[in-house]
Amino acid sequence: MTPPPSTAASAAPPDLLHSEAEEDLRAAVRSLLTHRGAPASVLAGAESGRPYDAELWRSLASGMGTAGLLVPDKLGGQGASARETAVVLEELGRAVAPVPYLTSAVLAVTTLLGCDTGDDEVAAPLAALAGGRRVGALAVPLTTPPGAGQARNVRVAGAGRRPLLSGEVTAVAGAAGADLLLVPADTGLYAVDAGGEGVRITPVTSLDLTRPIARVTLTEAPGSPLAGPGRARAAVDAALLAGAGLLASEQLGVAEWCLEETVRYTGERRQFGRPVGSFQALKHRLAALWLEVASARAVARNAADALATGSADTAVAVAVAQAYCGEVAVRAAQECVQLHGGIGMTWEHPAHLYLKRAKSAELALGTPGRHREALARLVDLPGPQD
């Protein structure tokens, strides 16, 4: 997905505008979600117990080919980049769509791209994920930030091509409903059949009903080696960095929907013979939120462009995006609930789904505080002395 940094790429200014092709992709994904993934239908399926909307996922991943955007053509993908993937995530955020796009098409796919793609053990599952024929999940806690280091809670016994993995990983997003688990262990990275022997996936109570998490327990589960310790660490770090940078686009989509829906509602809801949105106090709150969402759009786009071009400033761009967009999405969702008055507090209105997605995503792949600390180190900004 990410070409090696080059002097020319690093020196080029970021392109924050969307191309015509990207707008066409956005229109296609939005049309699909309007017909098959509207917030009302997401709300209806939120307590169904399904890990994700399988029909919507098939249409999005296989039908439209978005699962393989990050994968080169020769490896079975679409040969696009993080810019197009960010557009898809913006639209999925606007719909709080219950599909494993971030966990499978971004985190799992990027992890495999960091391995030796000339090896059949890597190329085969990568092509299956890119084609939407299988769903993958990276078996790390959802809260894991980029650069967190190698996991130590899964051990490997045996040798050769079929080692046995044992251990437990908590709060794994996308594990429920996945076909393939990518498991970082003490001796490298392994592919494990999610429905195979020695694998138990236990759903746990999740704040975000549209992105369930689960506990993965491995008891001498057969695994296929994908990469040794050094390459595995680099592949997982690259995946977490890409995931954090692209998650900002999903958070942007959440914030945009909340702002637009609130402006629409306050323009229609009347009190004392006039729309409630005409009161100065509410206009100021919405204007302030519009400015924050506009800024979030810029930093999220900058992160996506940096990932796509392999900019030398990618880590900085991702840290800025995650330090800012998570909090903006939460604030937009809170304003949405509050300015809808009583209707925003009801279970029947989808506002609570957006607030839960925003709060969950704020903790995913590193909190805003964690990314601010990372940003301070990256730009050599000294922090407070102990």
Predicted confidence at residue 3, as pLDDT, reads 47
Domains of the chain: 20-101+109-134 (1.10.540.10), 138-228 (2.40.110.10), 234-379 (1.20.140.10)
Residue 15, class by beta-carbon neighbours within 10 Å (0-12 exposed, 13-18 middle, 19+ buried)?
middle
Given a cut of 50, is residue 5 above it in pLDDT? Answer: no
The answer to whether the CB of 317 falls within 8 A of the CB of 375 is: no
Confidence of residue 23 (pLDDT cuts 50, 70, 90): very high
pLDDT tens sequence across 52-87: 999 999 999 999 999 999 999 999 999 999 999 999
N residues, the chain:
386
CA 361 to chain centre: 8
pLDDT tens sequence across 237-254: 999 999 999 999 999 999
15 DSSP 8-state letter: -
Given a cut of 60, is residue 233 above it in pLDDT? Answer: yes
The C-alpha R_g of the chain, in whole angstroms, comes to: 21
Q: State which of 34-48, 254-268, 336-350 shows the largest mean pLDDT.
A: 254-268
Quickly tell me which residue has 């494993």 as its tokens: 100
Given a cut of 60, is residue 6 above it in pLDDT? Answer: no
The answer to whether the CB of 299 falls within 8 A of the CB of 222 is: no
The answer to whether the CB of 340 falls within 8 A of the CB of 351 is: yes
Predicted confidence at residue 71, as pLDDT, reads 98
Q: For residues 264 and 261, what is the distance between their CA atoms, to the nearest angstrom?
A: 5
pTM above 0.85, yes or no: yes
The answer to whether the CB of 198 falls within 8 A of the CB of 219 is: yes
Give the tokens for residue 32.
């699909």
Q: For residues 247 and 236, what is the distance between their CA atoms, to the nearest angstrom?
A: 16
One-letter identity of residue 337: V
CB within 8 A of 24, min separation 6: which ones? none
Count of CB atoms situated within 10 Å of the CB of 91: 28
Quickly tell me which residue has 């000294």 as its tokens: 382
Predicted confidence at residue 1, as pLDDT, reads 46
pLDDT tens sequence across 180-209: 999 999 899 999 999 999 999 999 999 999
